[in-house]
Amino acid sequence: MADRISPAEKARRARSVDDAIHSARLEGGEIPTEAQKDMQEYVEGRITVEEGLERVRQRTKLRIQKRRSTVA
């Protein structure tokens, strides 16, 4: 769990997240709803970058396992 953050840090995080989303969209990508929710929690200081990345890893791992089980 992230510590309480200042308004300046929250604004910095919001700009960083907006830039990342914009960059992905310029490349033709789309950010999944779950990831957008994680990003918002990061901006608000409820989770750290590491916690957000771990959530992505877990979701990706589950999707891969599901695909493998349907192919086998």
Q: What is the pLDDT of residues 8-59, one digit of tens each?
A: 999 999 999 999 999 999 999 999 999 999 999 999 999 999 999 999 999 9
pLDDT at 2 over 60: no
Query: Looking at residue 71, what is its pLDDT?
Result: 67
- The domain spans of the chain are 7-71
Instruction: Evaluate if pTM is beyond 0.75.
Output: yes
Distance CA 53, CA 67 (A): 21
Element holding 63 (H helix, E strand) = helix 49-71
Q: Which of 7, 27, 65, 43 is nearest to 35 (CA)?
A: 43
CATH class of 7-71: mainly alpha
Provide the Cα torsion 17, 23, 53, 14; round to 10°.
Answer: 0
